Structures are given as structure tokens and as C-alpha cells.
Amino acid sequence: MAGSTARGRKQDPAPPETADDDGILRLGEEADEPQWGVFFRVAGKPYEGMTNPNGQILLGYVDLLRKRGGNVATSWLLERMLKSDAYAVLRDDPKISDADVRKIIDKCAGLVLGTRAAAPKARG
């Protein structure tokens, strides 16, 4: 018991714990700015997506999966992770196949869920 001894004498209280060893998580102190990198090309034109999605995107995705289902959650995820022109080309270009869209969905979901091995190189 800090502050007393077996003989009843008071000791100096234990020194305060430092931020690293008190067991309390400190959140939001080192938030990363979003980073963007080329995710895919269509007819040679590059399209970018977020390479470092944060916890809010993860929780938003999982929350929508649970509450509204996979289609809504996946659509939301693509809109959050892709620049608007990238999302638009996936949605509107007739040259984009179902398999192409699936690759982008898998890449975005993998980044959000922590399998970042296939992440493109980010630019600042």
C-alpha cells in the first residue's frame, strides 16, 4: 500500500506515474493527416484513394455493416476513401468491370481493416 509502512509510519507518496506507464490511453494527440496515393488507372489516368484511413472510417464502416448492411457500408466506404473523380469513374465508366470494382472494394476494405500490405505509396 503506497504511503504507509508495516509499522504505521507514513512514507512519501509514490511518484506520479508518467504518461507512458499509467495505463491510460491518450487519444487524438497525434492524429495523422489523410494521405492519398494512386489506387488505379483508367486509360492511363491515375485515380487516388486514402492510404491511411483512420479509426473513424473503420468504426463508421463497421457500424453501417451492422445497421444497414454490406451494400450501404461498402458504398459509404468507397465514397470516403476515394477522391470524387475516382469514385465517379468507377460508378460511371462503362469500361469498368464488376471484377475491377471488386478489386477496389477489397483494397479499401483491406486498408480499413488493417491489411495494409497492398497499400499504394502515399504522397503528402
Q: With helix as H, strand as E and coil as C, how does the chain read?
A: CCCECCCCCECCCCCCCCCCCCCCCCCCCCCCCCCEEEEEEECCEEEEEECCCCHHHHHHHHHHHHHHCHHHHHHHHHHHHECHHHHHHHHHCCCCCHHHHHHHHHHHHHHHHCCHHHCCCCEC
State if pTM tops 0.85. no
pLDDT at 94: 95
Tell me the pLDDT tens digit for each residue of 50-101: 999 998 999 999 999 999 999 999 999 999 999 999 999 999 999 999 999 9
- pLDDT-based confidence at 114, cuts 50/70/90? confident
